[in-house]
Structure 1
Amino acid sequence: MTYSGDVSPGGPPAVRELANLTITKVSVGPMDNNAYLLRCRNTGDQVLIDAANEAPRLLELVGDAGLTAVVTTHQHMDHWVALEEIVASTGARSLVHAADAEGLPISSETVAEGDLVPVGDCALEVIHIVGHTPGSIALLYRDPAGGPHLWTGDSLFPGGVGNTDRDPERFAPLIDDVEQKLFGRLPDETWFYPGHGKDSTLGAERGSLPQWRARGW
């Protein structure tokens, strides 16, 4: 089945097989949050991006293969409700940017711009995106057999950047970082996976950047 990235709370996961990495996307309630389980196809190592909610469901997804790390994209509670239970059940490392670490319910290791998070033989590059929260991050996987893949948390969605409550002092660094660190560095074929809702590509959104900047949200 062709991967579309369309998932809904309580519905089946969407699975995407890359050459070296399997991506499983699932939506959990009550806020339709996306959680992503990444598995190295060579080693079987697994990393979870955003233990948002429904810990039993996420643990079932993890299965017997275990979990090496949980990466939290930012400090907002709807992205970490299941974090404590997932870490306690699997012994996984909890990773978050230092600027958002105090917002999490458990003590976590911190990551910074340019750090690499291993997923077996694969690696995710940490990109710090200021604005939605001080320590929001995106995670970049450069597929050796295809285009880049990017997990953006709540910093970038189809149709715009993340919520800044229309605060210009938060919006300015967010649109700058998204434009410079994501659109400025990565090609149109980059597929991105947001914290809520459907996926998109940078190419599909690139032409709207001036409109987003002009409207201020």
Structure 2
Amino acid sequence: MDSTYTGEVTPGGAPAVRHLNGLTVTKYAVDPKMANNCYLLTCPTTGQQLLIDAADDAAALIDLSDGVIDTVVTTHQHWDHHRALSDVVAVTRPQVIAGAPDADAITEATGVGITRRVGDGDRVKVGEVELEVIAVAGHTPGSICLLYEEPSTDLKPGHAHLFTGDSLFPGGVGATFGDADAFATLIDQVETRIFDRLPDETWFYPGHGGDSTLGAERQSLPEWRARGW
């Protein structure tokens, strides 16, 4: 992995670029108030590109991608993660993907039809690269994460990379707005579908703020569960 990549970006500032084995990740932050992270994933073999969350500033996202976006994945239905979706789709004509339980709400808010509704274990392709959908309900019913299992090469070992939307952040899971049942669902699914399955070296990329690894957060799971948020 790139030793210079930190995952630190500021809205409207320079993107952070990471060259993985088989995939390039470009992280870009938009909107000074919400500080959403958008992730452009590029297959270096084919040049095809996938955008995770057209959150805001369509012109900047289109420029960042050189106008080539083959797929847009919206991680969940909240308004701050799809404000630029309609404008990005109008220019780039991508496939549009979302978790099935959130799809209708995204269309209602944006006017954009969902091309493909996905669930846990489904696969999403960008060029020659496959990403696995991990459904994690609680923040919203249809929130999804995307997992890239980086292959090892003779030069660089591979690691797991997880794009978590607003389901998991450094320091805790996503907001559940005082809903105890939603929190129980979210913390249970984050623990069983992410922490119980993936190793400490897994790097995760959230919908806002800086990145982290599962190893850095794992010991805090009991604290998160006990505090209820």
Q: TM-score range by the shorter chain?
A: over 0.9
State the TM-score, normalized to the length of structure 1.
0.98
- CA distance, structure 2, for counterparts of residue 167 and residue 91 of structure 1: 37
- 1:152 aligns with 164
Runs (4+) off by over 6 Å: none
- 2:62 aligns with 59
- 2:155 aligns with none
Alignment of 1:1-217 (within 5 A): 2-29=4-31, 30-64=33-67, 66-104=68-106, 105=110, 106-108=112-114, 109-145=116-152, 146-217=158-229
- CA distance, structure 2, for counterparts of residue 188 and residue 121 of structure 1: 26
Q: Which moved more, 1:140-149 or 1:105-114?
A: 105-114
Structure 1, unpaired ranges of 5+: none
Helix, strand or coil at the partner of 2:65: helix
- Count of residue pairs the alignment pairs up: 216
- CA distance, structure 2, for counterparts of residue 11 and residue 5 of structure 1: 13
- CA distance, structure 1, for counterparts of residue 21 and residue 164 of structure 2: 22
What is the alpha-carbon root mean square deviation over aligned residues?
0.9
Query: Residue type matched to 2:204 in 1?
Result: F
Deviations 1:74-94 (A, max 9, x none): 000000000011111001011
Helix, strand or coil at the partner of 1:118: strand
- CA distance, structure 2, for counterparts of residue 211 and residue 19 of structure 1: 35
Deviations 1:94-118 (A, max 9, x none): 1001100112121102111111100
Task: Give the percent of matched residue pairs that are identical in Structure 1 and Structure 2.
Answer: 59
- CA distance, structure 1, for counterparts of residue 55 and residue 222 of structure 2: 32
- CA distance, structure 2, for counterparts of residue 121 and residue 203 of structure 1: 29
Helix, strand or coil at the partner of 1:26: strand
State the TM-score, normalized to the length of structure 2.
0.93
Query: Residue type matched to 1:52 in 2?
Result: A
Query: Residue type matched to 1:39 in 2?
Result: T
* TM superposition shift of 1:166: 2.3
Helix, strand or coil at the partner of 1:101: helix
